[in-house]
Amino acid sequence: MDRVEAWMTTSEILIRTKERSDSHWISELLKAKWASVRIVTRGRIHDATKLAAFLAIVNGSRAGLITYRVERRECQIVSLNSLVENMGVGKALLTMLERDASSRGCKRIWLVTTNDNTDALRFYQKRGFRIAALYPGTIRDSRRLKPEIPMKGLDDIPILDEIELEKTLGIHQTISPQ
């Protein structure tokens, strides 16, 4: 990473850019949470270990990761994981990403989640994201690229569809973050 940023969100959560020494931890987290370091969205494979990322540090330990990519003034969140849920880690990572994306001139942040992930749908919508598109049945295509994608996901719901969420940045934003 050529940019070094750190932002203390509370007395307990520090958000910082990834460092070389985080590589092993990032790989293991991605494999544990997404069955591989490869994340497939919209028919495209992303090696999340090679992407820009922020880590959350809680009490000196790594507690969350957001990976992302910027293309044509749009920022795609490729993965977001919190290891200590419901204490603000996810929000802190997302807030940091929004600041970073704005500073890079991005007009839009977007991501793809799956139909089973009601936690993510709630989390993002409560923070100003809107559903931008529904891609019924496209996980079948994703599985061809990444056979590790399980048939069933959260709450035993069959994983079938991609859902694209987006948030517009800057003066055009109509919904305030929580």
Ligand X SMILES: CC(C)(COP(=O)(O)OP(=O)(O)OC[C@H]1O[C@@H](n2cnc3c(N)ncnc32)[C@H](O)[C@@H]1OP(=O)(O)O)[C@@H](O)C(=O)NCCC(=O)NCCS
Contact 164, 78 (CB under 8 A): no
The neighbouring-strand residues paired with 17 are: 54
Contact 79, 34 (CB under 8 A): yes
Piece of the chain touching ligand X by CB under 6 A; list 21-29, 47-55, 102-110, 112-120: 112-120
C-alpha–C-alpha distance, residues 9 and 91, integer Å: 10
* Residues 58-97, mask of contacts with ligand X (x by CB under 6 A): ---------------------xxxx--xxxxxxx------
Residue 117 in contact with ligand X, rule: CB under 6 A: yes
The residue (of 77 and 169) whose beta carbon lies closer to ligand X is: 77
The residue (of 119 and 148) whose beta carbon lies closer to ligand X is: 119
Going by their DSSP bridges, the two strands 162-168 and 130-135 should be labelled as: antiparallel
Residue 126 in contact with ligand X, rule: CB under 6 A: yes
Contact 56, 15 (CB under 8 A): yes
Residue 113 in contact with ligand X, rule: CB under 6 A: yes
Amino acid symbol at 139: I
Contact 66, 108 (CB under 8 A): no
Give the closest residue to 48 by CA, choosing from 19, 78, 70.
78
Residue 152 in contact with ligand X, rule: CB under 6 A: no
The correct pick among 68, 110, 123, 135 for binding ligand X (CB under 6 A) is 123
* Residues 14-53, mask of contacts with ligand X (x by CB under 6 A): ----------------------------------------
Interface residues with ligand X (CB under 6 A)? 79-82, 85-91, 111, 113, 117, 119-120, 122-123, 126
